[in-house]
Amino acid sequence: MEEGADGALRHRDAPPLCDRTGRDVSIAVLDSGIHPGHPHLGPIAGGIGLTIDGKLDDDLVDRLGHGTAVTAAIQEKAPDAEIQVVRIFHDALATSARTLSQAIDWASERGCRLANLSLGTPHQIRIEELGPAIDRAVERGTIVVSAYEHEGERWLPGTLPGALGVVLDSDCPRHAVRIESRDGRSVLAASGFPRPIPGVPVERNLSGISFAVANATGMLALALEGRPDARTSAAALTLLGG
């Protein structure tokens, strides 16, 4: 979709996105879970917990705060999207490639339109495990949204064919994205700031590529609303670019 890689801003509050809320768009948030009752969170449809050795549990409670902030950033833009929580981070923002692949499969097997993975890995050896999971997601019509690069390093799975990569743009407003070109392919550039916390200075809040991915996912949910036929990253970028 190189014709859309023009660097122009796409705003949440401008046509055609301004009247949309992400209704009927399902999003799997692969992160550290959620904190029930947090004032920034809306309804959660369900989810699953995955331990680092791939075991399933029903504990979705966020003990790190990261997944709650990521989910809140998505819901701020797409409040009517259906959120499925996939808790893969527990005591730290780290997991195994096996668990990450299992989480992507869980999302795609359930037909989620988007799978938000705010983090990733620079270790290219992990392509052997992550590549097939992305391929299966593409076959099932799930768009994996993930970091394309961080601190000058290309990351998996955001750089894999079929995934939709996101880069950090400190000058981009929180409620907008840019379609840009990296290494001959289109990516989304987004702000790295999450939803603000009243009384907390911006510089003391969480920030970074994780929230650029979340902000991009929220915008993509708006673009996909009413278009159940759009099941690839290229189709999503075309809708967003239009």
- Output the six-digit token pair for 8: 């122009």
Q: Which CATH number fits domain 2-241: 3.40.640.10, 3.40.50.200, 3.30.1360.120, 3.30.420.10?
A: 3.40.50.200
Model confidence over 102-138: pLDDT tens digits? 999 999 999 999 999 988 888 887 888 899 999 999 9
Q: Which residue has the tokens 């991009």?
A: 216
The pTM of the whole model exceeds 0.95: no
- Rounded mean pLDDT of 45-60? 88
Residue type, 71: T
Cα dihedral angle (217, 223, 229, 233), rounded to 10 degrees? -50
Q: Note the Cα 228 to chain centre separation in Å.
A: 18
Confidence at residue 103, expressed as pLDDT on a 0 to 100 scale:
95
Per-domain boundaries in the chain:
2-241
Q: Which residue has the higher pLDDT, 194 or 171?
A: 171
Cβ pair 237, 165 in contact under 8 A: no
Nearest to 206 by CA among 190, 192, 219, 188: 192
Q: Which helix (H) or strand (E) holds 82?
A: strand 82-87
Please report which confidence band the pLDDT of residue 204 belongs to, taking 50, 70 and 90 as the band edges. very low
As a whole-number percent, the residues of the chain with pLDDT over 90 amount to 69
How does pLDDT run across 176-192, given as a tens digit for each residue? 999 999 989 999 999 99
* pLDDT for position 1: 36
Contact 193, 201 (CB under 8 A): no
pLDDT at 226: 96
CA dihedral 63, 66, 68, 72 (to 10 degrees): 170
Q: Are 49 and 93 in contact (CB under 8 A)?
A: no
